[in-house]
Homo-oligomer: A and B are copies of this chain.
């Protein structure tokens, strides 16, 4: 019975709000997303980023402007992750934007890997060319040479939050592929190979936790193949997320660099045995690309949907006022605001817009909860709380608000994660043959295939399919389901995940 009454109330309230709309103005037309996510995912994505005011195109092609609503997400990622790594003994520093060309040449495979993407300074040569950093292994290893002396200095764990530049020639996409992006790059030195490998995996686990706990993004962890690993690494580990449009997104990587960079840059330390040794190094990074993953994964045809933890304003309060009850309603709504002040609520009492217009605007901009406060709510000492992701409405008595708000936010985070996890699980299909593979890829899923791990074979797959690449050799459930490589029929060595990607 109570439910029926609720439904009735809901219906009434909806009608009331509809009536308050400005005649002839459909807010969805003026503000909203004009294409469907299912139909044109690329256009939909661009519109969400622009219209939710997360980002803007920059005057220099391929760069972006991160607007306050987008930058705030990055600030949350920064502060959350920074706290975690500081507890693990990582110290922040800042290394220069500019790197001498000779530094790249010291590690040959690294230089080759980054050569096509490096931007160089034109007018300021002083003997040699100067690169704008695409990543900082070289300049940081050069510092390690001076800073690492004794086994007592190890492990040394350094991190920087900065901008990097990779001059992409492929089409760029806000957050997901831009010529300049923001990231953190961790760089660590260890005395033993075991410790190095252990922490490379530890930082990957930290990324996984961050993505699960804060961003509600599930991932598949694994090792990159020789073909796809970082230029100069011994092993690259990755976490891959999977987007609703059928593309994988490399969401963070952790590299075991072995002794390669240490040898190239002449880093050594005096061990407990008082003899010189060459240490092992590692690097790991996540970037503003994660903001793109958030948008792509959780948002819908009304606009942005975000897990509450990355939102500065977790609530918008919309008082529904009529002339005669205006004062009471506003007063009541302000009491509600006071109750939920920990969640930095927006208070939308603009006179020039209808409630319907406001709902659409805040849905577009991804505020997790809307609290509606109308005359009936005031009379009954209640409010209506509406979840952004599901649209579920809940009538909550005034004295239960402080209890319900965190519970609903928690539930929302949990549901977003579960939904994405289900999608990820449904998207991985095992196959054994080339035919299986093409079918799975045509179905916009990730193909888990027995593979020979030969670089040439992988390159051939990429060419034949116009861009399908190996994403990783997953850590979990990696039992070979066939003896032969699906692509070249040589002996299979591992199950490898293949897919299209950003």
Are A93 and B66 within 8 A (Cβ)? yes
Are A95 and B65 within 8 A (Cβ)? yes
Are B63 and A96 within 8 A (Cβ)? yes
Are B132 and A95 within 8 A (Cβ)? no
Q: Which stretch (A118-126, A214-222, A235-243, A292-300) binds chain B?
A: A118-126
Give chain A interface residues in 146-172, CB to chain B under 8 Å. Answer: 146, 158, 162-163, 165, 167
Chain B residues lying within 8 Å of A143, measured Cβ to Cβ, are: 56, 65
Q: Which of A63, A67, A124 has the most CB of B within 10 A?
A: A124
A180 to B359, CA, bound (A): 45
Given the interface pairs A65-B143, A165-B97, A182-B94, the reply to whether A59 lies near B103 with Cβ below 8 Å is yes
Are A96 and B142 within 8 A (Cβ)? no
A308-328 interface code vs B (CB 8 A; 1 in, 0 out): 000000000000000000000
Are A97 and B59 within 8 A (Cβ)? no
Judge whether A112 is part of the interface by a CB distance below 8 angstroms.
no
Are B93 and A180 within 8 A (Cβ)? no
Given the interface pairs A119-B121, A121-B122, A124-B119, the reply to whether A98 lies near B60 with Cβ below 8 Å is yes
Number of copies: 2
Chain B residues lying within 8 Å of A276, measured Cβ to Cβ, are: none
User: How many of chain A's residues touch chain B, expressed as a range?
Assistant: 35 or more
Q: Which residue of chain B lies nearest to A79 when distances are taken between CB atoms in the complex? A: B79
Chain B residues lying within 8 Å of A162, measured Cβ to Cβ, are: 163
A60 to B100, CA, bound (A): 6
Chain B residues lying within 8 Å of A67, measured Cβ to Cβ, are: 93
Closest-CB distance, A178 to chain B (whole angstroms): 9
A35-79 interface code vs B (CB 8 A; 1 in, 0 out): 000000000000000000000101111011111101110110000
A410-447 interface code vs B (CB 8 A; 1 in, 0 out): 00000000000000000000000000000000000000
Judge whether A99 is part of the interface by a CB distance below 8 angstroms.
yes
A81-109 interface code vs B (CB 8 A; 1 in, 0 out): 00000000001111111111001000000
15 contacts between A and B (CB under 8 A): A59-B96, A60-B100, A65-B93, A65-B96, A66-B93, A66-B95, A71-B94, A94-B182, A96-B180, A97-B97, A119-B121, A119-B124, A120-B123, A122-B123, A162-B163
Closest 5 interchain pairs by CB? A122-B122, A68-B91, A63-B96, A66-B94, A60-B98
